[in-house]
Structure formats: structure tokens, C-alpha cells
Amino acid sequence: MDELAEPGGALMPPIPPDDAERLAALWRTGLLDSPPAECFDRITRSVAALLRVPMAAVSLVDRNRQWFLSRVGLPLAQTPRDIAFCSHAVAERRLLRVCDAQLDPRFARNPLVTGEPHVRAYLAVPLLDAAGHALGTLCVLDREPREFGTEEQQLLQRYGKALERLIRG
């Protein structure tokens, strides 16, 4: 599905064609708006430390919002879905790497880039349920541009698989 331009020229994330089924799968997990859980927080803290980033999160992409199941360094508990970087990763169902958000037409005018928390670099892996629905992401964010090399991408993918196992129960 094509991305739509929003006023100001930024690109809104696409809505996956299976979004109704994806949302039903997300809601069945019972994780939305759940209290903090050490098992998720431990992974988020580890990823932030290992990748040397100031921010990391486990995000769940709901109908109109992105809600953080776990977060490090992010002052926000949730964001609107239409500005969430993670919405792009969920729609694409694959690793998403943004080396400099100010140079990426999808994100250059995003309020998360132009204002707090001043995201410049982003790396995320989608979190898939057993049926292959992307429920959210494990993501890391930096306030400085960076490449996120192959080893960093692979590390995030390994932690993402561990999170998928936790979510599936």
C-alpha cells in the first residue's frame, strides 16, 4: 500500500492490508496498557547498553497509537500511530534502518525528529506472532546520525526473537 503525504510533506506510514487481523492478534495478547514487566524491561535495557544508544523500546502498534510496553530513555508512554517510526516497520514486516532521519523523506518533518526526543537514527525489528502478524517492534533510537552495522542489526534481531517467544508465551 502506498504511503500518503501529510500536510507539510512528511510521509505517513502505510496501513498493512491485514491490519484488522493484526490488531485482533495484538489485542489477544493482553499486553496493551499492561503494567511494566521486568522480563521486557531487561531486554530493552540490554539492547540500549549493547548498542550504546540513549533510547530503546518495545512498541506495540495499536489502531491509533503506538504504546511502549517497555522503554529506556524515552519520556513518552505512547505516540500517535501516524508519526510512529515503528508503524513503518510494522507495515513492512522487516528490519527498518534509518541512518539520518533528517535526510529521510519519510521522517524529516516528523515531530519526533524536529522536536523532542530529536530522533536522528533508528533501527527496529518487527515482533511477529505465530501467524506472522507484526504486533510492534523492538527498536533503538539515537540523537546522532549513525549507520547501525551488520552486527548491530543481527544483535537486535536476536533480541527481537527472544521477545517474540515471550509474547507468544
The dihedral built from the CA positions of residue 45, 100, 137 and 32, taken in this order, carries a sign that is positive
Spell out the long-range contacts of 16-20 with Cβ–Cβ below 8 A and sequence spacing 24 or more: 16/90, 16/91, 16/93, 16/134, 18/133
Whole-model pTM: value is: 0.92
Rg of the chain in Å (alpha carbons): 15
**Is the residue at 13 inside a domain?**
no
**How many domains would you assign to the chain?**
1
CATH number reported for the structural domain that contains residue 68 in this entry: 3.30.450.40
Residue 169's pLDDT band (boundaries 50, 70, 90)? Answer: confident
Residue 58 lies in domain: 19-168
φ, ψ for residue 146, nearest 5 deg: -160, 160
Q: Is residue 76 part of a domain?
A: yes
Mean pLDDT score, 82-104? 96
139, three cell numbers: 527498536
Q: What is the pLDDT of residues 17-51, one digit of tens each?
A: 999 999 999 999 999 999 999 999 999 999 999 99
